Amino acid sequence: MRRFVTRRFLIAYAIIAALVGTGAFMWARQGAAAAQYRTTTATLGTVTQSISMSGNLASAAETDLNFSSSGKLNAVKVQVGQTVSAGQMLASLDGTSLRGALTAAQASLASAQARLSLDEAGTTPSTLASAEAQVSSANVTLQNDETAYNDTVAANAQAVAQAKDTYGASPTQQNYDAWQAAVTRGQQSDDQAAGQVRSARVQLQNAQAARSALEAGATSQQIQMDQSQVQIDQVNVTTAQTALNQATLTAPVAGVVAAVNVTLGQQVGSTSSSSSSSSSSSTPAIVLLTPGLFEVTGSVSDAQVSQVAVEQQAQVVPAGSQQAILGKVTSVAEEATISSGVATFPVTVLLNGTNNSLRAGMSASVSIVVNRVVQVLTVPTSAVHTTATGSTVTLLVGGQPQTRTVTLGATDSTRTQVLSGLNAGDQVVIATITSSVPSSGSGTGARAFGGGFGGGGRGPAGGGGTTGG
C-alpha cells in the first residue's frame, strides 16, 4: 500500500514539472520576441563644437597705451593713482594740422564725386550752364581772396613798420617784444591769406577742368578714372579721420592709472598702441592697471590651430571651481612650439571682467568655441552609429526598427547635426529594452518579468544595443 501511494505522488510530481517546464519555455520564447525600444524625437537644436586646452592663470592687469599719431601734446587729463572708466579720455594731441588734412581730403573727395556725377550724366544745356556758373563763382572767389591777401599783406606791413618805429624811438624791451609779436602775427596772417588764395586757385582749376571735360564729353575710360579717383579720395578721407581720432588717447578698459610718461607740450612720435604688457622697447605714454584681470595661455595641436581665431568665445573653469567664466581668444601663436617632435601652438584667452577671487598661477581648463550651429535638425550623439561605409540611425516605424543612412554635420558630446536622411519628428532609437533578469546561484540566465537597457552606440550610456539572458 505504501509503495502504491509513493508511486502516485511521483507521477503527480512528474506531471507538474512537465507543465511548469512547458510554460517557462513558451514564456521565454514570447519574451525573446517582444523586444521594446527606448526612443527620442529628431528635433531642431543647437550644436556647439569646442576645442579644449589647459593652462595657468596669469595677470593681464597692465595695459600700455601709446599714441598712433604724431603731434604736440596739448592735454593730459589724468594723474597717477586716478581711477578711470572704459572710454574715458586720458590725453590728446593738438589736432589742428590733422583737422586741416581731413578738411582737404574731404574737399578733394567732394570734387572727385562731383566730376564723376557730371561725367556720368553727360552734357546738357543745364549742366553746361551750371559748370560755367561754377567757373565764374570760383573766379570771383579767387579775385576776392587775392584782394584780401594784398590788403592783409599791406596792413601787416604797416603794423610791423609802426611797431619798429616805436621801438626805434624808444628802444625798450617791451617795445622790442611788441615789434617781434607784430612780425609773428603778420607772418601768420599773411600765410593764412596766402592759403586761401591757393585753395581758391585749386577750386577754379577744378571748375575749369570740369567744364572742359563736360564740353568734350566723357568717355567710358574717363568715367572709370573718375571712379578710381573717388575711391582713392575716400581712402584718404578715412585715413585722415582715423589719424584725427587717434590723436585722442582713451582708456580701453576701466582701471587705475599706474604711470603717466608724457607732459603737456611734449612732441609725441607715432607708435602703435599696445596693450596687455607690450614687449615694445618704447616707453608707453600711459600705463593702466586693472586689478582682477586675468588671462590663461594653453596650447592646441597643429591639427586644431586652423580652427582657432582671435575673438572666439571661450569658457574657463579655474581649479576648485564648478562655474565657468566667459572669455575670448586674444592671440594665437604664428609659430609652433616643438617638444619631443610634437608641434603645439600657444593660445591666450582673456577672461571677461574682473575676478578678484582668482590668483595668478592657478590652473584652469579652457573650452574654446570654434563652431556653433543653431536651429538645425539634431539627434542624440549616442543614437548615431558610424562604420567604415558611413553613418546610420535606427528609426522606429510602426513599432519596427529601420536602419536609415544619414549625412552628418557638426557634432558635440550630446547632440549631432543631421544634414540629410531624417525629418523633424522622426522617432530615433537610442536603446533596446529586453525582459531579461539574471537567475540566482547557477550563473545562468532565466526569463522573468523585468527589463534592461542595451549598451553600444558612440555616445553617453544608454546607446543602442541588446542584452540577453
- Of the chain, the percentage scoring pLDDT greater than 70 comes to 82
CA distances from 313 to 86, 327, 358, 372, 373 (A): 21, 6, 20, 11, 14
At residue 290, does pLDDT exceed 90?
A: no
Residue 86 CA to residue 353 CA, distance in Å, equals: 12
C-alpha 186, offset from chain centre: 53
C-alpha 157, offset from chain centre: 60
Instruction: Please give the pLDDT value at position 32.
Output: 46
List residues bridging with 50 in a β-sheet.
369
Residue 241 cell numbers, joined: 579721420
pTM, 2 dp: 0.43
- Of the chain, the percentage scoring pLDDT greater than 90 comes to 44
How many CB atoms within 10 Å of residue 187? Answer: 12
Highest mean predicted confidence (pLDDT) among 23-32, 285-294, 356-365: 356-365
Q: In what order do the strands lie in the sheet with 248-250?
A: 248-250, 89-93, 71-76, 267-268
Helix (H) or strand (E) holding 209: helix 173-216
Kindly compute the dihedral angle of the four CA atoms of residues 294, 298, 303, 308, in this order, to the nearest 10 degrees.
0
Instruction: Please give the pLDDT value at position 364.
Output: 95
Instruction: Please give the pLDDT value at position 457.
Output: 42
Highest mean predicted confidence (pLDDT) among 63-67, 136-140, 216-220: 136-140
Instruction: Please give the pLDDT value at position 449.
Output: 36
